[in-house]
Structures are given as structure tokens and as C-alpha cells.
Amino acid sequence: MLRSSIRMVAGLACRISPTCGPQAAVGRRPLLPSALKPAANATACFCQSKQAKDYALPNATWSQDMMTQYNKFMAMSRDGTWKRLPSYRHIVEHMPERMRQEHKEKINRETRLFLRNMDVEGKGFEYVMFVNSSEKRVVCVFQPGPYLEGPPGFAHGGCIATILDSTFGGCAVVFGGRVMTANLTINYKNPVPLGSVVLVDSKLDKTEGRKLFISGQVRSADGETLHTEATALFIQVVPQTSPQQPDCSE
């Protein structure tokens, strides 16, 4: 599960602004029942593209449980305790313009981020992440769609590992910068029903040099069912530098 987490590093330079999220995008989606309307506008700004679609905003496939959890965290965002993290389809949309120019020759715009690769909403990974800087936590509200099936009626264990790695990785990036997953240990307790809503709760436990130790759980939205426990180790990526050339002038 090694992977570079540059997708959110760009935001460290401009986080966290409560007014920079494209909340107006909600209005362009199918109308939601009044009871499910999203709460206050509070977003962690990770240098989004003005044209990019933010997939961490409500859509018509979100269940009432999903909207309830979303509104709860948005309400807690009013005082700045929590911040919503935007989410885009392509890694380039998470980069500031300076980084786009630096990496433009390496950027492949034909690719998509794994969790945002579906063209139809609600079929795969529906999720939104919130960060609490004071507690060094990132919580993901996750609704697995029907294309993530493993055992009949339940989410595949691999998709649970994916959302854990992404949530833990988001936590590591926010509090540690550029990182890669070194180890992810998962204990599956109870299967996750397709279409249900679970909370993936991650916390930075400690850092040792370039090592970041993170732990967390996957629980049902009501907190009654423990689905998964996990721990992870992430390693901060040290930028490569050109080796010093020997002095051959003598």
C-alpha cells in the first residue's frame, strides 16, 4: 500500500480557511429534501482548482445517515474545531499553481485518484473527511456503494483497507507533510453492510523522527458496532537532492 500522499500536501501552505470551499456547488446538484440540507459552510482549503468538482460535498445518493453525520461535523466546524477537507478526482487539483508548474511534465491528466474513479455517484466510495488539528485526528464519514461488494450484502475487506489507508494517510499528511505508507495492520471485527454509514476515526499517536504512528477504528454511525481496528506506520518523504559534485579544478 505504498503510495505518495502529495494529494493533500499542497494544502498545508494555505490551510485552513473557513470560507474557501465551493459550497455553492451543492446548489448545482439534485435538490435534497429539506431535512437533509447541508449545514454551515466551513471548509479546509487545500488550494483547490476553481473548475474542479469537490466530491466531498453532498449528492443525491447520500443517505439520511450520511447527511446526519455530515451536518453534525459541519456544525462542529462553525467554531473552527473541525474543518472539512475537499476531495478531487485528480491529484493535480490538490496542488497549488506553483507545484503544478514544477511538476507539469510529470502530470498525467488521464489518471484518476483510486477512490474517485467512478463516473456514477453512489456506486463506489462516498465519503467526506474532517480534520481536528488540536486533537490530531481525521474522521472520515464513509458510505460504501454496491460496486464495493465482497460477501453478499457487505463491503469487501479490501475497500475497508483502502478507506483506512486513505484516512490514516490524510491524517499523516496533515500533521507530517509528504509521507508514504510503510505498514498497515488491520483487525476485522464485523463486516460493513453495503449502503450503511460508518465513521473511520484516525489519530496521530506519536512521531519518532520521520516515523508517524497512527491508530484508529471503523465504527457504525451510532457507535454501537466496532467493525475494524487498525494501526499504521507512515514515513516522511525526504526530498531528493543532487549529489555533490567533486571539485576537479585542482
Which residues have a catalytic role annotated? 165
DSSP the chain: ---B-HHHHGGGGT---TT-S-GGGGGGSPPPPGGG------B------SSS--TTS--TT--HHHHHHHHHHHHHTTTTSSEEEP--SSGGGGS-HHHHHHHTTT--TT---GGG--SSTTSSEEEEEEEETTTTEEEEEEEE-GGGBSSTTBB-HHHHHHHHHHHHHHHHHHHHSSEEEEEEEEEE-SPPBTT--EEEEEEEEEEETTEEEEEEEEEETTS--EEEEEEEEEEEPPPP-PPPPP----
Angle at 204 between CA 88 and CA 183, to 5 degrees: 80
Apex CA 79: angle with CA 212 and CA 219, to 5°?
50
The edge-to-edge listing of strands for the beta sheet with 211-220 is 83-85, 125-132, 137-144, 198-208, 211-220, 226-236, 179-188
